[in-house]
Amino acid sequence: MKIETIAVRAGHRIDPGTRAVTTPIHMSTTFERDGDGSYPGGYVYSRGGNPNREALENCLAELEGGAAAAAFASGSAAAMSVLQALSPGDHVIAPEDVYCGTAHLLRDTFVPWGLQVSFVDMTDTENVERAVQPNTRLVWVETPSNPLLRITDITRVADIAHRAGVLCACDNTLPSPVLQRPFAHGADLVVHSTTKYLGGHGDVLGGAVIAKRDDAFFQKIRKIQKDGGAVPSPFECWLVLRGIRTLPYRMRAHAENAMHVAAFLSSHPKVESVHYPGLKDHPGHEVAARQMDFFGGIISFQLKGGKKKALAVAAKARLFVRATSLGGPISLIEHRASYEGPGTMAPDNLLRLSIGLEHPDDLIADLAHALA
């Protein structure tokens, strides 16, 4: 089936009791046993399983083309579960510009716990090959990266990982499974912040890990999900599942709008540089064109005049809302270095845009006003 059909139908079933077409929300935390002690409904306690979470996980697995999925209370909890499934003394290779939340997890939580981590520039895959050690167990890919929009060749990195007997995980939050299919390029695990494009409306927090194979490593992640309990509520699962129904059409609109805005910014005299893989002068354009169907809804750009000018532009925006996060219908603008704080790789003159679903002409007019 085409991805539009999968997005609408995966994880969906007619409610057997009421015949409701829209999936009901099952808020119960516990489920009745039969007299013989069995659980005929298949559910025991909501931390271990719930009809809404099961529906979402089935949908995510089918959407990414994987074998199984585990939903979490946030994208960070999802990433943490993958790292917790490793052992002290294991080595992880991650991008030097990995999302700041993942970098904090690695440096502040898992290095003291016993993981070893190498941060490398993954735009050059030879750096990944050089970083492999005898105790390497995981290569973490993020492409496009956040907020610099760097591109990593998933196929080449996954090949390096597999030749070393190592797992390859890919954070696919920014492109979503509509624009990029990491399993088709060799990844073993896909991680999402479902808060972003999958939920799509800025009203739900969540995360997910999808596995290409339901193997022993994924079962560790599943056990961490159950034992740790960092799971989304039934209502949160229902909201993400509702968002996924329109995901293919929203993603195309985000990407088309972003292409128009990126073209405008790239020709503006007050803009120093634009980071958007859809532009042909982007250093990762060819790789992105090979592994992505569209180029996404996130743009970063740097301004002439430094931090002061960047903050002034953000302050003058009228349609763009000054807020963090991404993937919703409302366009956002953010001075990323201020949010990430010390150690950020985001330049002081960089603004990140999450391009929403407004008309691109209106977004361009707003940026033209802010830049004037």
Q: Looking at the structure, tell me whether residues 74 and 216 fall in a common domain.
A: yes
Give the per-residue pLDDT at 23. Answer: 87
Per-residue pLDDT for the chain (372 aa), expressed as one digit of tens each? 999 999 999 998 888 888 989 889 999 999 999 989 899 888 999 999 999 999 999 999 999 999 999 999 999 999 999 999 999 999 999 999 999 999 999 999 999 999 999 999 999 999 999 999 999 999 999 999 999 999 999 999 999 999 999 999 999 999 999 999 999 999 999 999 999 999 999 999 999 999 999 999 999 999 999 999 999 999 999 999 999 999 999 999 999 999 999 999 999 999 999 999 999 999 999 999 999 999 999 999 999 999 999 999 999 999 999 999 999 999 999 999 999 988 899 999 999 999 999 999 999 999 999 999
Same domain, 141 and 79: yes
**Residue in 47, 107, 220, 242 annotated catalytic:** 47
User: Is the same domain home to 189 and 132?
Assistant: yes
Between CA 192 and CA 243, with CA 325 as vertex, the angle to 5 degrees is: 55
For 158, phi then psi, to 5°, come to -60, -35
Distance CA 124, CA 157 (A): 10
Residues 222 and 265 placed together within one structural domain of the fold:
no
Q: Is 39 an annotated catalytic residue? A: no
Q: Which of 171, 212, 245, 352 is catalytic?
A: 171
- 55 and 87 together in one domain: yes
Q: Confirm whether 156 is a catalytic residue.
A: no
pLDDT at 339: 92
Q: Is 196 a catalytic residue?
A: yes
* CA distance readout (Å), 252 to 48, 58, 184, 256, 265: 35, 23, 20, 6, 20
CATH number at residue 297: 3.90.1150.10
Do residues 254 and 173 both lie within one domain? no
Q: Are residues 75 and 203 in the same domain?
A: yes
Q: Cα–Cα distance between 329 and 235 in angstroms, integer?
A: 20
Owning domain of residue 230 = 3-244
Cα separation values, 12 from 6, 30, 60, 137, 198, Å: 10, 22, 12, 36, 16
Q: Which of 223, 235, 232 is nearest to 72 (CA)?
A: 232
Last residue of one domain, picked from the residues 244, 263, 290: 244
Number of independent structural domains in the chain: 2
The residue assigned the tokens 């052992």 is 87
Of 215, 244, 273, which residue constitutes the final position of a domain? 244
Six-digit token string for 87: 């052992």
Decide if 226 is catalytic. no
- From CA 294, how far away is CA 300, in angstroms rounded? 17
Selected catalytic residue, list 53, 137, 150, 196:
196
Contacts of 339 (CB under 8 A, 6+ apart): 100, 324
Predicted local distance difference test score (pLDDT) of residue 41 = 86
- Looking at residue 133, the DSSP 8-state letter turns out to be -
CA distances to 31, 138, 343 from 123, in Å: 49, 17, 20
CA dihedral sign of residues 244, 245, 248, 250: negative
Q: What is the CATH number of the domain that holds 93?
A: 3.40.640.10
Last residue of a domain, one of 208, 227, 244: 244
Q: Are residues 273 and 334 in the same domain?
A: yes
Cis peptide before 144 (omega within 30 of 0): yes
